[in-house]
Structure 1
Amino acid sequence: MKDKVVVVTGASGGVGRAVVRMLGEKGAKIALIARGETGLANAAVEAGAEGGTAKVYPADMADHEQVEAVADEIEKDLGPIDVWVNVAFSSVFAPFTEVEPAEYERTTAVTYLGYVWGTRAALRRMRPRNQGTIVQVGSALAYRGIPLQAAYCGAKHAIKGFTESVRTELFNEGSDVQITMVQLPAVNTPQFDWVLSRLRRHPQPVPPIFQPEVAAQAVVFAAEHPARREYWVGGSTTATIIGERIAPGLIDRYLGRTGVKSQQTDDKRPTGVANLWEPADDGRDYGAHGSFDGRSKDHSVQVWLSQHRTLVLTALATAAAATAAGLATRR
């Protein structure tokens, strides 16, 4: 990724922040997009300290005019965009009937349409050059909706369908532009501290929980190896997809019984912070990590397997050949 121009939306905190740091380590030229200018500024400093070049572009991803304008600025400042990574999102933790229409619209505008406008801006610049990569950071919730997150789950499902449609269009025109998705499990990010909540208790990710650096490894790897249509991070993502295909009705009932309680802590109330309409990190830097460090994993077998796929396949083929040879000798 050295010297490549990479755009990261939602770059001021959470997974986006961890991706920025990792891209800095690889010497990329990184364009950071988000609303929170304090978080953006510190993310740019971190990327620079790691060896990359970073420039800040404050913008609201829900506004397609702002997205187009910063895309023009990025190419003017840093050069042609090589990779565009969509991460930015917002949400509301509440039962669907307690979410106001304007809040639902805003969540959808940021979390779904933000990816649409980012993809559109990237494709407008990549298609004429016939090169470039778009990475959509998705979620296991693109396959399985859960209680208290109707707007977010709906948006993640929509991103998956949208991305598949765009991918087929690129195939149809014989384009060399690549688009891929990275489906994440529960991740320890500031999301649970700054998303609008109407819950009685502090929201929490459903275990197993992974550190944002694990997600960042998968995102950066996908940017470097975009030929696969989809990458999964964490065993829970695979289990969600398999379970949804085998027994969707049973999962509905199970989540109906357990999903509300499992997304709330027992020991504290919500923070009262909400970033739906205004950034939470304009005057405070939340960083990449949330408040669940003690319960979060810093590695993922699936990410390792993705990064060493050739080695694993070779080892499996060698083992199969040895087994076949052994059986032939016994005969």
Structure 2
Amino acid sequence: MAGNRRSIVITGASAGVGRAITLRLAGPDTALALLARDADALEDVAREVRARGGQALVLPCDVASGDAVAAAGRAATEAHGRIDVWINVAMAAVFGTVDQITPEEVRRVTEVTYLGFVNGTMAALRDMRTRERGTIVQIGSALAYRGIPLQSAYCGAKHAIRGFTASLRCELAAAGSGIAITELHLPAVNTPQFDWARTHRDSEPRPAGPVYQPEAIAEAVASAIDRPAREYWLGRQGPLLIMGNQVWPGLLDRLMAKSGIEGQSTEQPVKRDQPDNLFTPVPGLHRTRGRFGQEAAARVPTFDARLVRASAISAALIVAGMLGFALGAAFI
């Protein structure tokens, strides 16, 4: 039983952002339940958690399976007494234009990246609704607002998470529930994703835009758990991309068409025999960081989306007022 420890479930805990979050939250005051496909990789993370004084329950499963995630949720509740926080992180991606990728690949990315979040959220609610307490954290992306070339399946799945989560918020509010939901929309992150994601391109993929270390994201997640807002936008360019897309999406279409493909490509050719993790795990690559550490920032700016929107609206009203005053003065 968790006792006074905070009980937290993390999907995608074996690598990248999920692993960074796991290690950031590990300690004597937490009881963690770790979900991912690779049991050996999860055991490796669990050893690090226990070395930091935390509890770690290893629950190997594919988040694309609703039954498997539900069973993992029940196991976490049985072992730790309750679920205080559920963090959905697991994702999958395939790089390629729409005419290069296959329906099976799109389906798999959707099952992991979108339905994995749905399955995790439903599993969390089965426990949390009994007390009407708890926090669900959805690890999103700026690409949930703005699609970019070569990542149509991933962008579509991240867009879907936002719609699903918005509907759930309404239902919880109607029920007067005390369950909190917070979304963190991330910038490019230096994770192993770019080493093991499936690609149909001739050159190895790279993160788009300024890159941040996974540990920086984990720090923002830890803060959001304690202060859950509706949405947090992370990174220097994230808020600009999101707000810019709402104001002038056609301009961003043209900018992405001009630089979006080259900006996600390295000069290193793809090894056609290298394995990818779309349908099965890749042993040996489960680590926190990827290969772009030299350019990755150790700190990430974090913005409450409500404040960004309020500031943008205020600025627009001030400009409109000044223009109105100037036009009025011109006719006096």
TM range (shorter): 0.7 to 0.9
Q: Which whole-Å CA distance do the structure 2 matches of 1:278 and 1:169 have between them?
A: 35
Contact 2:192 2:285 in 1 (8 A): no
Q: Give the aligned partner of residue 132 of structure 1.
A: 134
Q: Give the aligned partner of residue 186 of structure 1.
A: 188
SS at match of 1:114: helix
Q: Give the aligned partner of residue 250 of structure 1.
A: 251
Q: Give the aligned partner of residue 202 of structure 2.
A: 200
Q: Give the aligned partner of residue 312 of structure 1.
A: none
Contact 1:186 1:207 in 2 (8 A): yes
Deviation at 1:268, TM superposition (A): 4.1
Deviation at 1:26, TM superposition (A): 6.4
The one-letter code matched in structure 2 to 1:289 is R
Contact 2:83 2:134 in 1 (8 A): yes
More helix by share: 1
Give per-residue Cα distances to partners, 1:34-53, cap 9 Å, x unaligned. Answer: 00122211111111222211
Q: Which whole-Å CA distance do the structure 2 matches of 1:209 and 1:128 have between them?
A: 40
- Count of residue pairs the alignment pairs up: 302
Superposition pairs of residues 28-177 of structure 1, within 5 angstroms: 28-177=30-179
The one-letter code matched in structure 2 to 1:246 is V
Q: Which whole-Å CA distance do the structure 2 matches of 1:270 and 1:137 have between them?
A: 30
Give per-residue Cα distances to partners, 1:70-113, cap 9 Å, x unaligned. Answer: 11111111220110000001011111111111111111000000
The structure-2 alpha-carbon separation of the partners of 1:26 and 1:137, relative to structure 1 and needing over 3 Å to count, comes to farther
Contact 1:234 1:300 in 2 (8 A): yes
Match of 1:12 among 4, 11, 14: 14
More strand by share: 2
Q: What are structure 2's unaligned runs of at least 5 residues? A: 308-332
Q: Give the aligned partner of residue 259 of structure 1.
A: 260
The structure-2 alpha-carbon separation of the partners of 1:135 and 1:198, relative to structure 1 and needing over 3 Å to count, comes to same
Q: Give the aligned partner of residue 315 of structure 2.
A: none
Q: Give the aligned partner of residue 238 of structure 1.
A: 239
Moved more, 95-104 or 135-144: 95-104
Deviation at 1:302, TM superposition (A): 2.4
Deviation at 1:300, TM superposition (A): 1.9
Q: Which whole-Å CA distance do the structure 1 matches of 2:186 and 2:271 have between them?
A: 24
The one-letter code matched in structure 2 to 1:287 is R
Give per-residue Cα distances to partners, 1:210-264, cap 9 Å, x unaligned. Answer: 00011111112112222x1001111111111121122110100110111111101
Q: Give the aligned partner of residue 297 of structure 1.
A: 297
The one-letter code matched in structure 1 to 2:284 is R
Contact 2:211 2:296 in 1 (8 A): yes
TM-score (norm 1): 0.88
The one-letter code matched in structure 1 to 2:7 is V
Q: Which whole-Å CA distance do the structure 1 matches of 2:278 and 2:185 have between them?
A: 23
Contact 1:42 1:285 in 2 (8 A): no
SS at match of 1:129: coil
Following superposition, which runs of at least 4 residues in structure 1 exceed 3 angstroms of deviation? Answer: none
Contact 2:94 2:151 in 1 (8 A): yes
Q: Give the aligned partner of residue 313 of structure 1.
A: none
Q: Which whole-Å CA distance do the structure 1 matches of 2:40 and 2:292 have between them?
A: 22
Q: Which whole-Å CA distance do the structure 1 matches of 2:62 and 2:137 have between them?
A: 19
Q: Which whole-Å CA distance do the structure 2 matches of 1:102 and 1:245 have between them?
A: 31
Instruction: Give the aligned CA root-mean-square deviation in angstroms.
Output: 1.6
Q: Give the aligned partner of residue 320 of structure 2.
A: none
Deviation at 1:25, TM superposition (A): 3.8
Contact 2:77 2:127 in 1 (8 A): no
Q: What are structure 1's unaligned runs of at least 5 residues? A: 310-331
Q: Percent identity?
A: 45
Q: Which whole-Å CA distance do the structure 2 matches of 1:151 and 1:73 have between them?
A: 31
TM-score (norm 2): 0.88
SS at match of 2:215: helix
